[in-house]
A and B are shown apart, each in its own frame.
Chain A
Amino acid sequence: MEIVTYTTVETFVNHLPEVTWVGSLIKAVLILAVISAIAGFGTFIERKVLAFMQRRLGPMHVGPYGLLQLAADGIKLFTKEDIVPQNANKLIFMIAPAITAATAFIALSAVPVFPDFTIPKFIPVLGGTFVPSIASDLNIGILFVLGMMAAGLYGPLLAGMSQANKWGIIGAARTAIQFLSYEVVTGLSILAPIMLVGSLSFVDFNNAQAGGIGSWLIWQQPVAFVLFLIAGFAETNRTPFDLLEHEAEVVSGYATEYSGMRWGMFFIGEYANMITISVIAAIVFLGGYSEGGLGWLTIILKVGFFFFLMLWVRAAWPHVRPDQLMWLCWKVLMPIAVINVVITGIVMMV
């Protein structure tokens, strides 16, 4: 095995792969295409998993094991009449779903989702182009992704407020409560791992945990991991915190007046956000990509585990009230997170 030693910074930099704008472009298109497909397929997986947990079979009639259910849903969403109700603010009502979906995918541009590869030479125009694992390798990756996901809440907020419907307004107010509650916890819980690694870049986080299972940050930061997971559930509107569109209380919350593809767009954004949170948790706390022998399969397993966990929690737990969410985040999780940061600091200094 050849050991490469770098004598100066310049030679090290020369060994890094270079990304042209074509590579970034291909990567961005890949993200949009593949993650949209996975987000759609996620709805199918969710229905299947929830069904098996309740001893049902789930969708079975369309295609083998109901696999074509996704296509049937797509046709249904495209052909259902798109209704803009009376008295609604038409422009905002129509663009709000696109905001949710767009911000979810812009956040994914700074997250490493697939392996990097070089397009084979024999392909005519694009041959030899290096396609990176991150569309844009930002040095403030985590901050950017969290900020972009926070901006995604404008979707439900504007959607709820643009329709002249009480349920929608209540849904919008709940969106605001949810954001006010979890955002502080997300920031504080991710702070302790950042202190340990000393960087905001996903690549640095991955490389800091390259030494196998023992070097995963979850062993050093179990409290931060649990806090981040809880905040992540709140960020993606998953079940213990699905206040925004809880059928039994607010008819469908912000999505009450939506129909057809405009309604489906919210859920493309939601599932893309679930994937983003899963990837962040896998890279920051569970070691990321480099794991003995399995290579890129490990990240898929980890992300799959988090995705399954979200569905499992939905099947197992009831949801909380808005004031309980506020109580939980401000009076329980935030003090724990601050204490965790301080203790991490003390341990690192001593």
Chain B
Amino acid sequence: MTHVITEHPYFGVFVLFALTAVAFPATLAAARFISRKLAKLDTEKLKLTIYECGPEVTKQPNTISAQFYLIALLFILFDVEIIFMFPWAIDFKLLGWFGFTEMILFILLLAIGFVYAWKKGALEWHSIK
């Protein structure tokens, strides 16, 4: 397998984006059209209730207690730092000892923060004691 010469490398991505943006919604629309033609629409009201045993359909507040709020905050930090490590990994041989030492220091700082978060219990599921 070899590299190829392309004037616009992202053209294939764009083509697939355009294709899927048309093809999948069109499939869904066709399926909706066919199935609505075949369906018995006279009992529509009961069919549209949500899946739930017993309770009436009410306008529920669309909220849930998130037990992983701190993890989400930490995730943003760590994911950004991993993205920062990608260029370093590509040019690893070029950067040599200098880059390596810098990255070790960076990882150490990261590790200190990680251990602190761990000890503070930020990585726990909060309802479980």
Contacts and interface: CB of A to CB of B under 8 A. Distances in A.
Interface of A: 13, 16-19, 21, 24-25, 27-29, 31-32, 77-87, 94-95, 97-98, 101-102, 105-106, 108-110, 112, 116, 130, 132-139, 143-144, 161, 163-167, 169-170, 172-173, 176-177, 180-181, 183-184, 187-188, 191-192, 194-195, 198-201, 203, 206-207, 251, 256-257, 260-262, 265, 288-290, 322-323, 326-327, 330-331, 334-335, 338, 341-342, 345, 348-349
B17 interface: yes
Contacts of A82: 28, 31-32, 35-36
A171 to B, nearest CB: 10
B100 A207 contact: no
A164 B50 contact: yes
Interface in B42-98: 47-52, 57, 59-60, 62-64, 66-68, 71-72, 75, 78-79, 82-83, 85-86, 89-93, 96-97
Interface residues of B, number: 73
Most chain B CB within a 10 A radius of its CB, from A28, A170, A335, A349: A28
Contacts of A106: 13, 16-17, 20
B20 A18 contact: no
Given A19-B5, A187-B86, A326-B68, 19 more contacts: A24-B6, A28-B19, A81-B47, A84-B48, A85-B48, A105-B19, A106-B13, A109-B15, A169-B63, A180-B72, A187-B83, A198-B93, A257-B50, A265-B28, A326-B71, A331-B123, A334-B78, A338-B107, A349-B96
Contacts of B15: 24-25, 28, 109, 135
Interface of B: 1-6, 8-13, 15-17, 19-21, 23-25, 27-28, 30-32, 34-36, 38-39, 47-52, 57, 59-60, 62-64, 66-68, 71-72, 75, 78-79, 82-83, 85-86, 89-93, 96-97, 100, 103-104, 107, 110-111, 114, 118, 123, 125, 128
Contacts of A177: 68, 71
Interface of B is mostly: helix
Contacts of B78: 184, 334
A309 B35 CA distance: 36
Nearest to A150: B79
Contacts of B47: 81, 83
A330 B48 contact: no
A192 B89 CA distance: 8
B1 A349 contact: no
Contact of A323 (B28, B79, B90, B128): B128
12 contacts: A16-B2, A81-B39, A133-B1, A136-B10, A165-B51, A169-B62, A173-B66, A176-B68, A187-B83, A257-B50, A331-B118, A345-B103
